[in-house]
Amino acid sequence: MKKNDGGVPRARWHRVTWLVTSFWVVALVLAVAAQAVLPNPTWYLIHIAGLGVAGTSILIWTWHFADALTRTKQSQFRQLIRILTLSAGTIVLGVALATTGLPAIACGAAGGGIVSGVLIWHSVDLRRAMSGSFVSPGAVTLRYHHAASLVFVFGALVGIILTIDVSSYELVLAWWPGLYLHHDAMAIAHVFLMVLGFLGLTILGTLVTFGPTVARARMGTAALGRSRRILPL
């Protein structure tokens, strides 16, 4: 039974990560069933699906590709701490959605800060892996994953500002009256950065190398070069 970087056996490691992901899948099902009683039910569904299910999966599988494409072995302990911290931050955001006023703002800022910190840590380790002694040409995939993590941080910042808007009308009027008037635009920006930025860039980057594998097709000779050039767009 193979082990990762001297850690637990690979099969056991997959069971551990599967349990965390399964927890969020179950939470998503429960949130769907409890929409009639949940405060802000739509945002609960979005955050559980986007941060809990998709975010956890991205942290897990990004390092699966990073290990393969850079021949490095990221510490399982570091990976697990990131995954669990992301879950903790998501739960704190859930508390923010269920409250109002200053407690909601505090929880929103804390939750947003926690999940942002996880993705910053994640992006730093990705950058370190990409600067190693062996980097496969297919590691362009990791450039997309790295960019997606940074976009996430900007999206989280917009989300924290939105928490202030929806939690305390008086505070918004005193701090930034224009925020209340532009709530819908801020919400669209938050969703755009998270869905098309964080999730979208991660998926696009993965398809660069994983797509041909699934399709059992040969990757075009110019594909990697084009993917590097198009990433800034």
Residues of the chain above pLDDT 70, percent: 93
- 16 or 179, which is more confident: 16
Percent helix, percent strand, percent coil in the chain, to nearest 5: 80, 0, 15
Q: What tens digit of pLDDT does each residue of 28-63 get?
A: 999 999 988 888 888 889 999 999 999 999 999 998
Q: Binning pLDDT at 50, 70 and 90, where does residue 4 land?
A: very low
Determine the Cα angle at 92 with ends 19 and 23, to 5°.
Answer: 15
Spatial contact of 193 and 214, defined as CB atoms under 8 Å apart = no
pLDDT above 90 for 197: yes
pLDDT band at 214 (very low <50, low <70, confident <90, very high): confident
Q: Give the highest mean pLDDT range of 5-9, 26-30, 183-187, 204-208.
A: 26-30
The answer to whether the beta carbons of residues 137 and 199 sit under 8 Å apart is no
DSSP bridge pairs for 3: 9
**Domain residue spans in the chain?**
10-230
17: tokens are 């990560």
Q: Evaluate if residue 3 carries a pLDDT over 80.
A: no
**pLDDT tens sequence across 148-166:** 999 999 999 999 888 877 7
What is the pTM assigned to this prediction? Answer: 0.87
Q: DSSP string spanning 155-181?
A: HHHHHHHHHHHHH-HHHHHHH-HHHHH
Banded model confidence at residue 184, pLDDT cuts 50, 70, 90: confident
Point out which residues pair with 9 in neighbouring strands. Answer: 3
Kindly state the average pLDDT of the residues 190-208: 92
